Amino acid sequence: MSLKRFAIQLAACSLSLTLSGCALFSGQSAAESADVYVQLGMRYLSMNKLDIAKQNLNIALGKDSNNVQAHNGLAFLYEKMNLPAEAIKHYEIALHLDASDLGVQNNYGRFLCEQKQYERGMLLLKQAASTPFNNRPWLALTNAGRCQMAMGQIQKAEPYFQQALLQNSSYAPALAEMQKLSYQHNDFNAANEYLQRYLSGSSHTAETLWIAIHTERALGNNELATEYQHLLLKKFPLSDEANKIKSVLW
Protein backbone atom coordinates (compact mmCIF):
# COMPACT_ATOMS: atom_id res chain seq x y z
CA MET A 1 0.00 0.00 0.00
CA SER A 2 1.32 3.42 -0.90
CA LEU A 3 1.97 5.93 1.87
CA LYS A 4 -0.46 8.42 0.28
CA ARG A 5 -3.26 5.87 0.14
CA PHE A 6 -2.52 4.81 3.72
CA ALA A 7 -2.70 8.41 4.92
CA ILE A 8 -6.12 8.88 3.30
CA GLN A 9 -7.47 5.69 4.84
CA LEU A 10 -5.93 6.54 8.20
CA ALA A 11 -7.66 9.91 8.18
CA ALA A 12 -10.95 8.17 7.54
CA CYS A 13 -10.33 5.68 10.32
CA SER A 14 -9.45 8.45 12.74
CA LEU A 15 -13.04 9.62 12.64
CA SER A 16 -13.88 6.63 14.82
CA LEU A 17 -12.99 6.51 18.50
CA THR A 18 -10.11 4.08 17.98
CA LEU A 19 -8.11 2.58 15.17
CA SER A 20 -8.22 -0.90 16.65
CA GLY A 21 -11.21 -1.94 14.61
CA CYS A 22 -10.20 -0.19 11.40
CA ALA A 23 -10.01 -2.51 8.41
CA LEU A 24 -6.81 -0.75 7.41
CA PHE A 25 -4.80 -2.86 9.86
CA SER A 26 -6.63 -6.16 9.41
CA GLY A 27 -4.13 -8.85 8.51
CA GLN A 28 -1.14 -6.70 9.42
CA SER A 29 1.28 -7.69 12.14
CA ALA A 30 2.22 -5.17 14.80
CA ALA A 31 5.67 -4.82 13.21
CA GLU A 32 4.18 -4.14 9.77
CA SER A 33 1.78 -1.47 11.02
CA ALA A 34 4.62 0.06 13.06
CA ASP A 35 6.64 0.40 9.86
CA VAL A 36 3.81 2.33 8.22
CA TYR A 37 3.58 4.70 11.17
CA VAL A 38 7.35 5.22 10.93
CA GLN A 39 6.93 6.17 7.26
CA LEU A 40 4.23 8.65 8.21
CA GLY A 41 6.32 10.05 11.04
CA MET A 42 9.34 10.53 8.81
CA ARG A 43 7.20 12.20 6.14
CA TYR A 44 5.84 14.69 8.67
CA LEU A 45 9.35 15.18 10.05
CA SER A 46 10.60 16.11 6.59
CA MET A 47 7.79 18.69 6.46
CA ASN A 48 8.92 20.01 9.87
CA LYS A 49 5.55 19.10 11.40
CA LEU A 50 7.22 17.92 14.56
CA ASP A 51 4.18 17.32 16.77
CA ILE A 52 2.44 15.08 14.25
CA ALA A 53 5.72 13.34 13.45
CA LYS A 54 6.28 12.63 17.13
CA GLN A 55 2.77 11.21 17.53
CA ASN A 56 3.22 8.79 14.64
CA LEU A 57 6.68 7.67 15.72
CA ASN A 58 5.46 7.06 19.26
CA ILE A 59 2.52 5.04 17.91
CA ALA A 60 5.05 2.99 15.96
CA LEU A 61 6.97 2.27 19.17
CA GLY A 62 3.72 1.39 20.91
CA LYS A 63 3.19 -1.31 18.31
CA ASP A 64 6.82 -2.43 18.15
CA SER A 65 9.16 -1.11 20.81
CA ASN A 66 12.12 -2.64 18.97
CA ASN A 67 11.57 -0.72 15.75
CA VAL A 68 15.02 0.68 14.99
CA GLN A 69 13.82 3.28 12.51
CA ALA A 70 11.23 4.64 14.95
CA HIS A 71 13.98 5.22 17.53
CA ASN A 72 16.25 6.70 14.86
CA GLY A 73 13.47 9.02 13.71
CA LEU A 74 12.61 10.13 17.23
CA ALA A 75 16.27 10.81 17.95
CA PHE A 76 16.50 13.09 14.92
CA LEU A 77 13.22 14.76 15.90
CA TYR A 78 14.57 15.49 19.38
CA GLU A 79 17.67 16.98 17.75
CA LYS A 80 15.44 19.42 15.91
CA MET A 81 13.63 20.19 19.18
CA ASN A 82 17.00 20.91 20.85
CA LEU A 83 16.56 18.09 23.35
CA PRO A 84 19.97 16.38 23.12
CA ALA A 85 19.47 14.07 26.10
CA GLU A 86 16.33 12.60 24.53
CA ALA A 87 18.08 12.32 21.19
CA ILE A 88 20.98 10.41 22.75
CA LYS A 89 18.57 8.06 24.53
CA HIS A 90 16.85 7.02 21.32
CA TYR A 91 20.07 6.82 19.32
CA GLU A 92 21.55 4.54 21.98
CA ILE A 93 18.47 2.31 21.91
CA ALA A 94 18.57 2.14 18.11
CA LEU A 95 22.28 1.31 18.17
CA HIS A 96 21.72 -1.38 20.79
CA LEU A 97 18.96 -2.93 18.69
CA ASP A 98 21.04 -2.93 15.51
CA ALA A 99 24.64 -1.78 15.77
CA SER A 100 25.12 -2.28 12.02
CA ASP A 101 22.30 0.01 10.88
CA LEU A 102 23.91 2.50 8.51
CA GLY A 103 21.34 5.24 9.07
CA VAL A 104 21.82 5.08 12.83
CA GLN A 105 25.60 5.05 12.51
CA ASN A 106 25.58 8.07 10.22
CA ASN A 107 23.00 10.11 12.13
CA TYR A 108 24.36 9.35 15.57
CA GLY A 109 27.96 9.83 14.47
CA ARG A 110 27.12 13.25 13.03
CA PHE A 111 25.17 14.18 16.16
CA LEU A 112 27.99 13.13 18.50
CA CYS A 113 30.44 15.27 16.55
CA GLU A 114 28.05 18.22 16.88
CA GLN A 115 28.03 17.53 20.62
CA LYS A 116 31.86 17.60 20.59
CA GLN A 117 32.07 13.86 21.28
CA TYR A 118 34.43 13.56 18.37
CA GLU A 119 36.15 10.24 19.00
CA ARG A 120 33.01 8.14 19.18
CA GLY A 121 31.34 10.19 16.46
CA MET A 122 34.21 9.53 14.05
CA LEU A 123 34.20 5.84 14.93
CA LEU A 124 30.54 5.50 13.92
CA LEU A 125 30.99 7.56 10.76
CA LYS A 126 34.00 5.52 9.68
CA GLN A 127 32.02 2.33 10.23
CA ALA A 128 29.15 3.64 8.12
CA ALA A 129 31.44 4.85 5.33
CA SER A 130 33.58 1.71 5.11
CA THR A 131 30.97 -1.03 4.97
CA PRO A 132 30.58 -2.51 1.46
CA PHE A 133 26.80 -2.64 1.97
CA ASN A 134 26.51 1.15 2.11
CA ASN A 135 25.19 2.35 -1.25
CA ARG A 136 25.46 6.01 -0.20
CA PRO A 137 28.86 6.25 1.53
CA TRP A 138 29.24 9.93 0.57
CA LEU A 139 26.83 10.87 3.37
CA ALA A 140 29.00 9.46 6.14
CA LEU A 141 32.21 10.57 4.40
CA THR A 142 31.01 14.18 4.26
CA ASN A 143 29.92 14.07 7.89
CA ALA A 144 33.31 12.63 8.83
CA GLY A 145 35.01 15.50 7.01
CA ARG A 146 32.85 18.01 8.85
CA CYS A 147 33.70 16.31 12.13
CA GLN A 148 37.41 16.69 11.38
CA MET A 149 36.81 20.36 10.53
CA ALA A 150 35.09 20.85 13.87
CA MET A 151 38.16 19.34 15.53
CA GLY A 152 40.37 21.80 13.68
CA GLN A 153 41.91 18.98 11.63
CA ILE A 154 41.57 20.65 8.24
CA GLN A 155 44.22 18.53 6.51
CA LYS A 156 42.45 15.36 7.63
CA ALA A 157 39.06 16.69 6.59
CA GLU A 158 39.81 17.23 2.89
CA PRO A 159 40.37 13.54 1.98
CA TYR A 160 36.94 12.67 3.32
CA PHE A 161 35.27 15.28 1.11
CA GLN A 162 37.32 14.13 -1.87
CA GLN A 163 36.33 10.52 -1.25
CA ALA A 164 32.70 11.58 -0.98
CA LEU A 165 32.93 13.29 -4.38
CA LEU A 166 34.58 10.23 -5.91
CA GLN A 167 31.49 8.30 -4.86
CA ASN A 168 29.04 11.03 -5.90
CA SER A 169 30.57 13.86 -7.91
CA SER A 170 27.46 16.06 -7.62
CA TYR A 171 26.89 15.77 -3.87
CA ALA A 172 26.21 19.39 -2.92
CA PRO A 173 27.31 19.39 0.76
CA ALA A 174 30.73 17.97 -0.15
CA LEU A 175 31.11 20.45 -3.01
CA ALA A 176 30.29 23.34 -0.67
CA GLU A 177 32.87 22.11 1.83
CA MET A 178 35.50 21.90 -0.90
CA GLN A 179 34.63 25.44 -2.02
CA LYS A 180 35.31 26.58 1.53
CA LEU A 181 38.55 24.60 1.91
CA SER A 182 39.86 25.74 -1.47
CA TYR A 183 39.24 29.36 -0.51
CA GLN A 184 41.00 28.83 2.82
CA HIS A 185 43.99 27.38 0.92
CA ASN A 186 44.00 30.49 -1.33
CA ASP A 187 43.20 28.26 -4.31
CA PHE A 188 40.61 30.68 -5.65
CA ASN A 189 40.20 29.09 -9.07
CA ALA A 190 39.42 25.75 -7.45
CA ALA A 191 36.98 27.44 -5.09
CA ASN A 192 35.19 28.92 -8.07
CA GLU A 193 35.14 25.57 -9.88
CA TYR A 194 33.63 23.81 -6.88
CA LEU A 195 31.02 26.55 -6.61
CA GLN A 196 30.00 26.14 -10.25
CA ARG A 197 29.65 22.39 -9.76
CA TYR A 198 27.59 23.04 -6.64
CA LEU A 199 25.31 25.48 -8.46
CA SER A 200 24.65 23.00 -11.25
CA GLY A 201 22.33 21.15 -8.91
CA SER A 202 21.73 23.34 -5.86
CA SER A 203 20.91 26.90 -4.88
CA HIS A 204 23.17 29.34 -3.08
CA THR A 205 23.33 29.45 0.67
CA ALA A 206 24.47 32.47 2.64
CA GLU A 207 27.83 30.78 3.17
CA THR A 208 28.44 29.86 -0.49
CA LEU A 209 27.65 33.46 -1.45
CA TRP A 210 29.92 34.84 1.26
CA ILE A 211 32.82 32.72 0.07
CA ALA A 212 32.02 33.56 -3.56
CA ILE A 213 32.22 37.30 -2.80
CA HIS A 214 35.71 36.98 -1.36
CA THR A 215 36.81 34.51 -4.04
CA GLU A 216 35.86 36.87 -6.87
CA ARG A 217 37.53 39.80 -5.14
CA ALA A 218 40.70 37.76 -4.81
CA LEU A 219 40.48 36.96 -8.54
CA GLY A 220 39.99 40.63 -9.37
CA ASN A 221 36.37 40.20 -10.46
CA ASN A 222 34.96 43.07 -8.42
CA GLU A 223 31.82 43.47 -10.51
CA LEU A 224 30.82 39.85 -9.99
CA ALA A 225 31.72 40.12 -6.31
CA THR A 226 29.33 43.06 -6.01
CA GLU A 227 26.58 41.05 -7.73
CA TYR A 228 27.06 38.23 -5.22
CA GLN A 229 26.96 40.78 -2.41
CA HIS A 230 23.63 42.17 -3.59
CA LEU A 231 22.27 38.63 -3.98
CA LEU A 232 23.32 37.74 -0.44
CA LEU A 233 21.60 40.79 1.01
CA LYS A 234 18.47 40.06 -1.01
CA LYS A 235 18.14 36.32 -0.37
CA PHE A 236 19.52 36.09 3.16
CA PRO A 237 19.02 39.52 4.78
CA LEU A 238 18.97 38.13 8.33
CA SER A 239 22.00 35.86 7.98
CA ASP A 240 25.26 36.38 9.85
CA GLU A 241 26.99 36.87 6.52
CA ALA A 242 24.56 39.65 5.54
CA ASN A 243 25.07 41.33 8.90
CA LYS A 244 28.82 41.36 8.29
CA ILE A 245 28.27 43.17 5.00
CA LYS A 246 25.84 45.64 6.56
CA SER A 247 28.30 46.45 9.33
CA VAL A 248 30.80 47.57 6.70
CA LEU A 249 28.38 49.34 4.35
CA TRP A 250 26.25 51.03 6.94
pLDDT in tens, the chain (250 residues): 455 555 545 554 443 333 444 544 555 678 888 999 999 999 999 999 999 999 999 999 999 999 999 999 999 999 999 999 999 999 999 999 999 999 999 999 999 999 999 999 999 999 999 999 999 999 999 999 999 999 999 999 999 999 999 999 999 999 999 999 999 999 999 999 999 999 999 999 999 999 999 999 999 999 999 999 999 999 999 999 999 998 866 5
Q: 88, 76 in Cβ contact below 8 A?
A: no
Go through the domains of the chain in sequence order and give each one's CATH number. Answer: 169-250 (1.25.40.10)
Dist. CA 74–CA 42, nearest whole Å: 9
Q: 103, 69 in Cβ contact below 8 A?
A: yes
Q: Which of 114, 107, 154, 112 is nearest to 128 (CA)?
A: 107
Dist. CA 189–CA 207, nearest whole Å: 17
Dist. CA 196–CA 199, nearest whole Å: 5
